[in-house]
Structure 1
Amino acid sequence: MARSSGRIIKNPFMSLTPSPRSLTQLFSVSPLTSLFSTKKTSPPLSIFVLSFVFSFTFLGISIFRFFPASQDPIQCSIVSPTMSPVSPHSLPSSYSRIILASLLSGLNSNNEIQPRVGGTSMVPLPVHLVSGDLSEQEAEFWKQPDGNGYRPCLDSTIGYRKRSAKISMEKNRFLVVVAAGGLNQQRNQIIDAVVISRILEAALVLPILQVNTIWEDESEFPDIFDVEHFKKTLRADVRVVSSLPSSHLIAKQTIVTQMPYGVSPFWIRAKFFKQLNQEGVLVLKGLDSKLSKNLPSDLQKLRCKVAFHALRFAKPILQLGNQLARRMWIEGPYVALHLRLEKDVWVRTGCLTGLGAEFDKIVTRIQKSQPQYLTGRVNMSYTQRRLSGLCPLNALEMARLLKALGAPKSYRFYIAGGEPFGGSTKALAPLAAEFPNLVRKESLARDGELSPFLNRSSVLSAIDYIVSFNSDIFIPSHGGNMGRALQGHRAYVGHRKSIWPNKRAMLPLFEDSSIPEEELSSIIRSLHDKSMKPEPRKKERDNDVIAFPVPECMCRRRSAIF
């Protein structure tokens, strides 16, 4: 994405269409016509006509070969029996015909052609147009939001662009950031690291990924993300270097591990700018959620640029993730469920698994012996936490939600997330009983495809991200960084439907056996009516543009602006 240009890139073929005048000029300089342009001889009329026809034919063939045979979008010839043909003319208006063409041309198994928005963003496979004998609830379930005309819009102010020339060449001040946590927690910290380096007018050293103590993942930045793409995409905003220059290796380095939450750009500059000028290097650790979500417009757009453009996964991950996504997509519409059923999630949330006393006892013992893992509201009981919406939906609760929303049982559901506590067979049994076509990356991958990544949880999470990103509908069972990132990313590239369970309102209804099933379904659909429509547009007080890119990073324009 070329942010610095801020222009609408027009179709190059349109600008090269020859005018009648240019055709005349081309004809006038034809080699053949020049033979007959001398005044000394006067050839017969038949020779002149013959040369005219020959020259014009030659010119026509040249122009014809230069232009594509058709500028119509490529039709999809791969159709599953369970899906209707993908017709570009019947796609929602928010899906660009150019995007569709590039996507369908990228369906080759070698993944040689990578579809892009603005040249740098991942673009999902087209949504399926589900038709046939559908109930009213099923039709509403598959219906996609129309986007209300919002498209990516990252044009920055003149002042920002003027400062960019100097900042992108910075060679004296360097920011080093150590990102901790899981993949999506690290992504958020990398995004903020770029913004902070911009605020401090410092070059950013490629972020260091701290070894994850829970999953024991030692992956480094180049193992997960495309380094060169990251640098090139951000080169107009900040300078990104792979390592500190030798001149700064022996300099005094201040390592900051404690920062308050929600700090502003003014606080960042007042706290660190003078110190960074003097020492040349600043090291930040523990950056998670420390930078305010409410930033000036240019910095909010930079956040989106990093999240939706610069942080592209490394090629091996992208290739495998896209291959798995195509295997799901080719069979028809699919729903991605991000189920947070891992052991550490139950421990951190202070919740019980619903798998029985044996498993609950294990979780409770860890919670008591390691209370530091419990996230907030320590004084609440399990029941209070669950009814307040602070626990993940278990498999039974997710099944009841899907039934109420009108999800068809015959379609496929991709299960994103790590190995459920208690094992997939036991933990997913209530969901599989209602929706038998459950697919995980382990069953979707062919022999040996996942082998290089089996001990790298961040890579496996990235693969889940890619397959979920391409789904027709995405539903997380609990909040979290991956769910919020996918919601915003899917909105940014085409307003793909994401449904967030309203657990606080829904779970008490599940406990009331006096409510008839039909009435319960109607209430559940009503509770999620807003989620089933275009993503929220109003600006929130704590506006996280990664989850809600409208209106800071998207605007109502005829074409997307990068």
Structure 2
Amino acid sequence: MTNSNSNSNSYISITQKPISIKLKASKTTNSFHYKLPSPHRFSRYFVPFLSIWALLSISQVYFSPLPCPHYLRRLRPDPHATTNDEFWTWARSGVTAVNPCLYFTDSYVNESRTPVYKRYMVVVVSGGLNQQRNQIIDAVVIARILRAVLVAPILQVNQIWGDDSEFGDIFDISHFKEMLKHDVKVVSSLPATHLMRRRIKAPLLPFNAGEEWVHTNYGEGKLDKKSVLILRGFDSRLAKNLTSDLQKLRCKVAFEALRFQPWIEELAERFVRRMREEGPYVALHLRLEKDVWVRTGCHSGLGSEADEVVEGERASKPRLLTSRSKLTPRRRYLAGLCPLNANEISWVLKGLGASRKTRIYWAGGEPFGGRDALQPLRADYPKLFNKWSLAGPQELDGLKRKPSVLAAIDYQVCLKSQLFLASHGGNMARSLQGHRTYLGYGKPIRPNKRQLVRLFLNTTLTHHQIRRKIKQIHTEDSASILLTNKDDVIAYPAHHCMCTQ
């Protein structure tokens, strides 16, 4: 939509609201002057205008536009809104009394007492921090299946982020080894006796590969004491439905062994303390970066010019559109496949009962559209912070080229929040949901985007009704997360890794 000022020409704005006509303001006075045409001239202009209006109305029926940009439709303050105390009481409620309990079977324990560590496995993990975490978790599981010694994972330099951090730069390797000493032997590097040994490049793990496939393709005969197995490109390929012991091992790696370096955790803890200066806080993971809009094939709600930029980049790099490439942006939006923009996140927070005084920490990269992209959220929630606004002088100096470290800080601050929600799915949202469940931190909220879209587009509902339905949807959803029996233990650890005792 085109912005205008007092010197702009008259235009017709086509949105989901009735068509409006903006009249040109006088240059000599603050008031508007209207020159009434003669009846004859009036009919000359009115009839064509009426025809255009009719055509535009018909086009709106057959070519329904995307939802209004965030600056056109806003959720007004609710006179019946709850207090912030009531909001935090609700946020603390409904957390089921289950605790971590990683009880392994006798056969698993006995196998651990008689280790067979003759083979070495090297893994190269790729992607962003949380994608790397997922691969490290599966690498430990594969090493356990093979009874192999795991060399500290190699973090591949990401082409997008350009971070050259190594495993020990981000994760506490001593803690990692100690926590897993009864499960998998971990060494910092290949011993000198194996530096010149024959390397075996493993066949690519197929999707949903199970324990039997790993044994058949990476086991004895493929990985002996005279060779070193190199494994790469296995992101999200190991089956989710493994044995109970291996599911518990996944939880142990994800939520207990993979600890960040102490200096990273200490820095993140400073930000947590600053966020808690006035009480509990909400954490948001905002997936509003340009590459997210390109990859999802969605419109950002920032207007037609922004949409053209995203569509142009997507057309020049079609490989960036990751899935369901034949869906239009509108169909993606209606299917709940698009990130929530800043205005929609504001709707959700108001629906959940967060008052204007709520302190909010937002994690993520620079939003597409810059500061303006966050304006709807900042207007409703002025106490909006991120790591850069919380940091003191020189606290984050030297980290601008270390996005993995910055992501680790975001992860820790979000982990310690009273309420966490993400504008879109992804590895970080999935990991934090499971980690917070495992540690019993606050209510788990997963925005139900498909139902939210229906509410946003339903013009028959009052704002009070929208709020009530938003809270109802997410109260029910958050109650079911802990009870969900899913094989994805990183996001849903309760069934496999937790119990009431």
CA distance in 1, matches of 2:380, 2:441: 28
1:160 equivalent among 108, 133, 138: 108
Matched, 1:173 2:139: no
Residue pair 1:469, 1:486 contacting (<8 A) in 2 also: yes
* CA-based RMSD: 1.8
Q: C-alpha separation between the residues in 2 aligned to 1:470 and 1:477?
A: 18
Q: Which residue of the partner structure matches residue 335 of structure 1?
A: 282
Question: Paired residue for 1:211, among 134, 139, 157?
Answer: 157
Distance in 2 between residues matched to 1:138 and 1:501, nearest whole Å: 22
- Pick from 267, 276, 295: which aligns with 1:320? 267
Distance 1:509 1:236 in 2: 51
Equivalent residues in 2 for 1:229-244 (5 A)? Answer: 229-244=175-190
CA contact (8 A) 2:361 2:386 kept: yes
Greater CA drift, 255-264 or 234-243? 255-264
Distance 2:202 2:301 in 1: 41
Q: Report what 2:306 is aligned to.
A: 359
Uncovered stretches (5+) of structure 2, i.e. residues with no partner: 1-79
Q: Give me the whole-angstrom Cα distance separating, in 1, the residues matched to 2:111 and 2:478.
A: 42
Residue in 2 aligned with 1:517? 463
- The amino acid of 1:456's aligned partner reads K
Measure, in 2, the Cα distance between the counterparts of 1:521 and 1:532.
16
**Larger deviation: 295-304 or 519-528?**
519-528
- Specify the SS of the correspondent of 1:204: strand
Q: 1:255 aligns with which of 182, 197, 201?
A: 201
Aligned residue type for 2:493 = P
In the TM superposition, what is the alpha-carbon distance from 1:141 to its structure 2 partner? 5.5
Whether the 8 Å CA contact 1:257–1:285 is kept in 2: the answer is: no
Please show how residues 267-282 of structure 1 align to structure 2 within 5 Å: 267-274=213-220, 275-277=222-224, 279-282=226-229
Q: C-alpha separation between the residues in 1 aligned to 2:379 and 2:87?
A: 23
Which residue, 379, 385, 389 being the options, matches 1:433?
Answer: 379
Q: Which amino acid aligns with 1:549?
A: P
CA distance in structure 1 between the aligned counterparts of 2:207 and 2:84, rounded to whole angstroms:
43
* 2:491 equivalent to 1:544: no
User: What SS does the aligned partner of 2:413 have?
Assistant: helix
Counting only pairs closer than 5 Å after superposition, residues 4-403 of structure 1 correspond to structure 2 as 135=82, 139=86, 142-143=89-90, 144-167=92-115, 170=117, 172-256=118-202, 258-274=204-220, 275-277=222-224, 279-403=226-350
- Residues in 2 aligned to 1:398 and 1:485: alpha-carbon distance in whole angstroms: 20
Residue 368 (structure 2) pairs with residue 421 (structure 1): yes
Give the C-alpha shift of residue 277 in structure 1: 1.9
Kindly indicate whether the alpha-carbon contact (under 8 Å) linking 1:141 and 1:405 is maintained by their aligned counterparts in 2. no
Deviations 1:143-186 (A, max 9, x none): 2245433111012111111111233x61x201111110000000
Query: Does residue 555 of structure 1 match 2:499?
Result: yes
CA distance in 2, matches of 1:277, 1:238: 17
For 2:499 and 2:93, the matched residues in 1 are separated by: 16
Contact 2:84 2:358 in 1 (8 A): no
Q: What code does the residue aligned with 2:315 have?
A: K
Distance of 1:528 and 1:405 partners within structure 2:
8
Shift in alpha-carbon separation, 1:145–1:260, aligned structure 2, 3 A: farther
Show CA shifts across 1:108-156 (max 9, x none): xxxxxxxxxxxxxxxxxxxxxxxxx983896256422454331110121
Ranges in structure 1 where 5+ consecutive residues have no aligned partner? 1-132, 558-562
Match of 1:463 among 371, 385, 409: 409
SS at match of 2:123: strand
Q: What is the SS of the residue equivalent to 1:194?
A: helix
TM-superposed deviation, 1:257: 6.0
SS at match of 1:276: coil
| Contact preservation (8 Å) 1:339, 1:417 | yes
Q: What is the rounded CA distance, in whole Å, between the counterparts of 2:225 and 2:208 in structure 1?
A: 26
2 CA distance for matches of 1:141 and 1:500? 17
Report the Cα offset of residue 370 of structure 1.
1.1
TM-score, length of structure 1 as denominator length = 0.72
Alpha-carbon distance change, 461 to 227 in structure 1, aligned in 2, over 3 angstroms: same
Q: CA separation of 1:278/1:470 partners in 2, compared to 1, >3 Å: closer, same or farther?
A: closer
* 1:326 Cα offset (Å): 1.0
% identical equivalent positions = 50
Which residue type is aligned with residue 282 of structure 1? L
Cα separation, 1, equivalents of 2:335 and 2:410: 28
* CA distance, structure 2, for counterparts of residue 330 and residue 140 of structure 1: 18
Please list the CA deviations of residues 188-230 of structure 1 after superposition, one character each: whole Å capped at 9, or x if unmatched. 0000000000000000000000111111111111111001111
Structure 2: how far apart are the matches of 1:148 and 1:412?
25
| 1:30 alignment partner in structure 2 | none
**What does the per-residue CA deviation read over 1:444-490, in whole Å, with 9 as the maximum and x for residues that have no partner?**
01011111211111111110011111111001111011111111111
What is the DSSP-based 3-state SS (H/G/I as helix, E as strand, rest coil) of the residue aligned with 1:238?
A: coil
8 Å contact from structure 2 (residues 378, 384) kept in 1: yes
Q: Note if contact 1:138-1:408 (Cα within 8 Å) is conserved in structure 2.
A: no
- Give 1:316 shift: 1.6
Aligned in 2, Cα 1:142/1:461: closer, same or farther, shift over 3 Å? farther
What secondary structure, in the 3-state scheme, does the structure 2 residue paired with 1:530 have? helix
| TM-score of the superposed pair, with normalisation by structure 2 | 0.81
> In 1, distance between residues paired with 2:122 and 2:155?
11
Equivalent residues of 1:145, 1:534 under 8 A apart? no
